[in-house]
């Protein structure tokens, strides 16, 4: 089953948004969005929050493939993903972020991704980007690029590369595909000047994994 969520010119400052999506046992579900999500300045300086909870049951598959999140000037957004997987579950999760619209500085964007498989934590990741974040556009973080994203692939029969795989180059965007401590999980992280270049890097990372596929 494919589910398409509507586009959002939100969240605005002070908004509290949440999604709770479950792929029950032995189901196949793909979720995407009709257009990009834009974090905007609201009538209040309070931050907006966007909380996503994904649950995948036994022998189920969930592909979470939304369009990019754009952090517009003056916005503040705290986004969280909480993922709970059964031991035999499969997950393909992609997230892409654009720091600022054309010719504007970004807002403030913080994200946290936590993933548990069969009750055990396998990933807990936090980022802080944009206006006021320390060194976010320096060489140790985005290196002057305006887009960043990641792709997380988890499957019980995953054939992971034994070592990290470097992708791209510093000028046109680069990334790395890294095996996690859980042998069923791979994480690709990339930065690039444009969203199109970022997507190509994430697609190249997925192509490194035999039989990964993109169909639920």
SS3 per-residue string spanning the chain:
CEEEECCECCCECCCEEEEEEEECCCCEEEEEECCCEEEECCCCCCCEEEEEEEEECCCCEEEEECCCEEECCCCEEEEEEEEEECCCCEEEEEEEEEECCCCCCCCEEEEEEEEEECCEEEEEEEEEEECCCCCCCCCCCCCCCCEEEEEEEECCCCCCCCCCEEEEECCCEEEEEEECCCCCEEEEEEEECCHHHHHHHHHHHHHCCCCCCCCC
Residue 76 has pLDDT above 90, yes or no: yes
Does pLDDT of 7 surpass 60? no
pLDDT tens digits, one per residue of 137-189: 998 899 889 999 999 999 998 887 878 999 998 788 999 999 998 889 999 99
Domain presence at residue 45: yes
Residues 98 and 129 sit within 8 Å (Cβ to Cβ): no
Is 138 part of a structural domain of the chain?
A: yes
Averaged pLDDT score across all residues of the chain: 91
Residue 97 lies in a domain: yes
How many domains is the chain built from? 1
Domain membership of residue 47 (yes or no) is yes
Peptide bond connecting 11 to the previous residue in cis, omega within 30 degrees of 0: yes
Per-residue pLDDT tens digits for 107-139: 999 999 999 999 999 999 999 999 999 999 998
Question: In the predicted model, what is the mean pLDDT of residues 6-30?
Answer: 87
Domain that holds residue 175: 2-207
215 found inside a domain: no
């Amino acid at each position: 089953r494919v589910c398409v969520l509507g586009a959002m010119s939100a969240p605005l400052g002070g908004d509290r948004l949440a999604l709770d999506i479950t792929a029950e046992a032995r189901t196949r579900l793909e979720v995407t969005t009709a257009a990009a999500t834009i974090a905007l300045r609201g009538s209040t300086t309070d931050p907006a929050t966007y909380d996503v909870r994904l649950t995948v049951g036994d022998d189920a598959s969930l592909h979470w493939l939304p369009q990019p999140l754009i952090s517009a000037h003056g916005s503040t957004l705290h986004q969280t993903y909480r993922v709970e997987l059964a031991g035999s579950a499969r997950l393909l999760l992609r997230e892409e972020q654009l720091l600022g619209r054309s010719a504007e500085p970004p807002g403030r964007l913080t994200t946290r991704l936590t993933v548990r498989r069969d009750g055990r934590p396998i990933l807990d990741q936090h980022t802080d980007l944009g206006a006021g974040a320390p060194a976010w556009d320096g060489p140790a973080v985005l290196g002057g690029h305006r887009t960043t994203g990641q792709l997380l692939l988890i499957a019980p029969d995953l054939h992971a590369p034994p070592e990290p795989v470097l992708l791209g180059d510093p000028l046109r965007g680069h990334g790395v595909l890294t095996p996690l401590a859980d042998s069923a999980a791979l994480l690709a992280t990339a930065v690039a000047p444009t969203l199109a270049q970022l997507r190509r890097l994430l697609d190249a990372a997925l192509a490194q994994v035999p039989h990964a596929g993109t169909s639920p």
